[in-house]
């Protein structure tokens, strides 16, 4: 693998960014061709239907291969319940809380495999799921998105989902480390604080330990303050990422941040500075979902900081190994039509 050379493209590959619309417009082309971002995340504004999504992902991958010689990570939040960007004719997934009460792990695995097959056929290769937060009760903002309040149950369903997504052809991402299940505030709006006082966070870490053993390739951090660990949010904390996730839990895969534009982080520091802190803390893939100019400014700030060169090189190696696992899609437009017609 070539040496990591300072500059915007070198640090651009550490970014996963949102696009403004449903087509490969000039903004999207510049992000892929010039900034050479490592990943794209898709939202409702980018999604009109199976054939359009297939066309968008095909065009994005063609640009990426021409510019950087490697495929993009193309991700979506297709958890189920309130968080599923792709609607019918894609499978509508029940809330995780409902699945935890009414379905078996085997049924969750089959559902995840079917979901992954649908994503893969339109060119999406990463699903930002499963949620492994152990939500204690309805007061937790992630209550409906959590499989339950028993850590072993959450772990079992999480493992099943990871197996299903992988079998269906997409990369799963376990979230949100180190667990938002004991929080009372929504990190989209403000910084939540862990309410549990156990410094080892035994309840919250059980699902993540088992997901790592199950081979999950990527874990997303939470914008969460654990007072017993650090004054900084987990996304910006070397204690959370390097001490706990890397050393104590032994995770060697890709660490990605939750969206750095969320209120919990943006209320604390500008997005480019947050990207710098997250990379320095040990994150590999930096998520910026909305503002394109924030992605460019973040890459500029990272590239100008010589102290981040080693950390950037390390992150690029991990992401490079993950992207090497991606296989170019051979699916035609007609095959997309036929898949969803038959489904």
Q: Which residues are catalytic?
A: 188, 258
SS3 123: coil
Distance CA 116, CA 287 (A): 21
Task: Determine contact, residues 136/149, Cβ cutoff 8 Å.
Answer: yes
Burial class (CB in 10 A: 0-12, 13-18, 19+), 230: middle
Would you state the structure tokens that stand for residue 178, as one six-digit string?
């180190």
Instruction: Please tell me whether the peptide bond between 338 and the residue prior to it is cis, using omega within 30 degrees of 0.
Output: no
Q: What would you measure as the largest C-alpha separation in the chain, in angstroms?
A: 55
- φ/ψ of 68, rounded to 5, equals -125, -10
Ramachandran sector of residue 233 (left: φ over 0; alpha: ψ -120 to 50; beta: rest): beta
Q: Which of 126, 118, 224, 227 is nearest to 177 (CA)?
A: 224
Contact present, 307 and 265 (Cβ < 8 Å): no
- How do 73-76 and 126-127 pair as beta strands? parallel
DSSP codes joined into one string, 49-106? -HHHHHHHHHHHHHHHHHHHSSPPEEEE-EEETTEES--TTSPPPPPHHHHHHH--HH
């Amino acid at each position: 693998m070539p040496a990591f050379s300072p500059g915007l493209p070198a640090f651009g590959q550490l970014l996963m960014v949102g696009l403004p619309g449903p087509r490969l417009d000039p903004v999207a082309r510049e992000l892929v061709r010039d900034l050479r971002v490592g990943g794209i995340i898709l939202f409702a504004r980018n999604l009109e239907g199976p054939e359009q999504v297939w066309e968008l992902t095909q065009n994005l991958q063609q640009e990426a291969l021409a510019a950087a010689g490697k495929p993009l990570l193309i991700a979506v939040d297709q958890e189920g319940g309130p968080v599923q960007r792709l609607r019918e004719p894609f499978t509508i997934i029940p809330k995780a809380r409902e699945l935890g009460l009414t379905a078996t792990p085997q049924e969750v695995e089959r559902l995840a495999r079917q979901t992954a097959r649908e994503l893969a056929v339109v060119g999406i290769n990463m699903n930002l799921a499963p949620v492994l937060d152990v939500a204690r009760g309805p007061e937790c903002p992630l209550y409906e998105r959590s499989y339950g309040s028993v850590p072993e149950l959450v772990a079992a369903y999480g493992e099943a989902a990871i197996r299903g997504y992988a079998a269906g052809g997409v990369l799963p991402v376990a979230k949100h480390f180190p667990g938002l299940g004991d929080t009372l505030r929504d990190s989209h709006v403000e910084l939540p604080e862990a309410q549990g006082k156990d410094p080892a966070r035994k309840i919250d870490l059980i699902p993540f330990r088992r997901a790592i053993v199950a081979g999950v390739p990527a874990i997303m951090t939470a914008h969460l303050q654990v007072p017993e660990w650090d004054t900084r949010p987990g996304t910006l904390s070397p204690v959370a990422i390097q001490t706990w996730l890397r050393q104590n839990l032994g995770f060697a895969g890709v660490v990605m941040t939750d969206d750095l534009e969320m209120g919990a982080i943006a209320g604390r520091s500008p997005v480019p500075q947050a990207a710098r802190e997250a990379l320095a803390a040990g994150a590999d893939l930096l998520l910026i979902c909305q503002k394109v100019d924030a992605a460019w400014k973040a890459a500029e700030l990272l590239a100008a900081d010589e102290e981040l060169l080693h950390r950037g090189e390390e992150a690029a190696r991990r992401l490079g190994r993950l992207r090497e696992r991606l296989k170019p899609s051979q699916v035609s437009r007609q095959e997309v039509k036929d898949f969803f017609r038959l489904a």
